[in-house]
Structure 1
């Protein structure tokens, strides 16, 4: 998106400015540490599922300042600057900072909850598959829950098991494969400020619903309220569809929007709260 006014970073209020600076510094640190020490900071400071051995409580905060690359951080920080500076000027710095972190933590909450449901379902399906183990049931399990890994697993394991379906060694190995796949899903870190940024976007749409935005790639003006609703619907569709090529944490985005909506409604009811 682009604004109708020329960008002026000097007019950016302090919280938004410092959030952008910190995020940029962390991205540069990620590049430098990886280049010099061969250490991936995203694998340390990114957020893991609580069932993973890599999970650490501090990741709930640190993942919000990590990004997967220049494109990732550019769109997040551009949106934060575009909409966040307006909100901070209206709310004040303290309220905006509180809102930013509440939506960021809300993103973590919904993402983790959805992950818990998904992993629990996978574990139940794995147990059912192992109660009646066969190359066919194992193939169906992998195809449904881990379609991106099917070809590799077929070549390494399923094709051999098919030649001897009653072999207890292969049956035991199927259990190990299932366990490894579930663990792999737990060990994927989440990085980015997107959850909080989606909360900021939601707030802008609620406070300035009729403000017209110009889409960056499609020069068509659209009112903020319709843009926010449309974006939310797309995120829900993508999250539910769970396409195998998609590695975006869509429910984290929705969590930021949901908790932002709840907080703004709470503030509107509590007129006695000031920051």
Structure 2
């Protein structure tokens, strides 16, 4: 299951969201020739990825930033950009362009710090934008808990799109990160950086908390009904132009 869209287009152009997607795309395209060569791609990940032990030794502070724009492959990149595309524009609408850019970086920092704290001796490079994007999801949860998000379920050969309220989808996602992080604590040598996801989510939520209070807190939810403060988008699927054929008995 993964979200494919929300029903809440932003009222102004989300330049920072578009810019972040563009920068991630450029880095991904630069890395593309290296993905088939583990040694070459590994050297890039070691140099620019975030390695907890190196950071604890006071080296590689710049990798907190550079690691946020590297990805391990196409699905890693595409999934992260899809989440940023869905949730980033509405948050940028509320925060404004400059504050949203700062928010994104702070979320990435929170993701890095919790992942490092989870295993300070790890020498495995952490790469990916998912920690910062988890912060976007945490902020979205606080501001728009009742926004509608369409989630695609894939069960073997069954494909079904189900609308979820944002609070349910996002809390379920966050809960899975915490549970998986706890279950995999003894296997911190590699795999998914669950604690980075949790750290980014918490950092994004806390960053937006004073913004939400400034907008009126629960009064903001009452006024907007937990949605972005404009009409929902309505998606219509065009009917096929191919005529129906009835089978003769």
**Shared topology, TM-score over 0.5?**
yes
Query: Do the aligned partners of 1:12 and 1:81 also contact (CA within 8 Å) in 2?
Result: no
Query: Match of 1:236, SS?
Result: helix
Cα 1:59–1:246 change in 2 (3 A) is: closer
Residues 37-93 of structure 1, C-alpha deviations (whole Å, 9 max, x = no match): x73222221111134789512111000000001100101011101110111122210
> Which one of the candidate residues 209, 214, 224 is aligned to 1:265?
209
2:239 corresponds to? none
**Alpha-carbon distance between aligned partners in 1 of 2:9 and 2:147, rounded to the nearest angstrom:** 17
Q: Is 1:236–2:238 an aligned residue pair? A: no
Query: Match of 1:39, SS?
Result: helix
Q: Once the 2 structures are TM-superposed, how far is the Cα of residue 268 of structure 1 from its aligned partner?
A: 3.9
Query: Match of 1:220, SS?
Result: strand
Greater share of strand: 2
Gaps of 5+ in 2: 154-159, 216-249
After the TM superposition, which residues 251-262 of structure 1 pair with which residues of structure 2 at under 5 Å, given as runs?
251-262=195-206
Q: Once the 2 structures are TM-superposed, how far is the Cα of residue 5 of structure 1 from its aligned partner?
A: 5.7
Q: Once the 2 structures are TM-superposed, how far is the Cα of residue 98 of structure 1 from its aligned partner?
A: 1.1
After the TM superposition, which residues 28-47 of structure 1 pair with which residues of structure 2 at under 5 Å, given as runs?
28-32=29-33, 39-40=40-41, 41-47=44-50
More displaced stretch, 26-35 vs 82-91: 26-35
**Alpha-carbon distance between aligned partners in 1 of 2:103 and 2:93, rounded to the nearest angstrom:** 13
TM-score (norm 2): 0.72
1:207 corresponds to? 143
Query: Do the aligned partners of 1:3 and 1:213 also contact (CA within 8 Å) in 2?
Result: yes
Q: Once the 2 structures are TM-superposed, how far is the Cα of residue 232 of structure 1 from its aligned partner?
A: 1.0
Greater share of helix: 1
* Number of residues of Structure 1 aligned to a counterpart in Structure 2: 200
Query: Match of 2:191, SS?
Result: coil
1:86 corresponds to? 90
Cα 1:211–1:69 change in 2 (3 A) is: same
> Which one of the candidate residues 126, 133, 136 is aligned to 1:190?
126
Gaps of 5+ in 1: 120-185
Q: Is 1:223–2:227 an aligned residue pair? A: no
Query: Do the aligned partners of 1:54 and 1:187 also contact (CA within 8 Å) in 2?
Result: no
Q: What is the root-mean-square deviation in Å for CA atoms of aligned residues?
A: 2.8
**Alpha-carbon distance between aligned partners in 1 of 2:106 and 2:205, rounded to the nearest angstrom:** 11
Asked which structure has the greater CA Rg, the reply is: 1
Query: Match of 1:3, SS?
Result: strand
TM-score (norm 1): 0.65
> Which one of the candidate residues 49, 52, 56 is aligned to 1:49?
52
Cα 1:68–1:103 change in 2 (3 A) is: same
**Alpha-carbon distance between aligned partners in 2 of 1:259 and 1:5, rounded to the nearest angstrom:** 25
Q: Is 1:26–2:27 an aligned residue pair? A: yes
Q: Once the 2 structures are TM-superposed, how far is the Cα of residue 6 of structure 1 from its aligned partner?
A: 11
Query: Do the aligned partners of 1:83 and 1:200 also contact (CA within 8 Å) in 2?
Result: yes
**Alpha-carbon distance between aligned partners in 1 of 2:6 and 2:83, rounded to the nearest angstrom:** 14
Q: Is 1:3–2:5 an aligned residue pair? A: yes
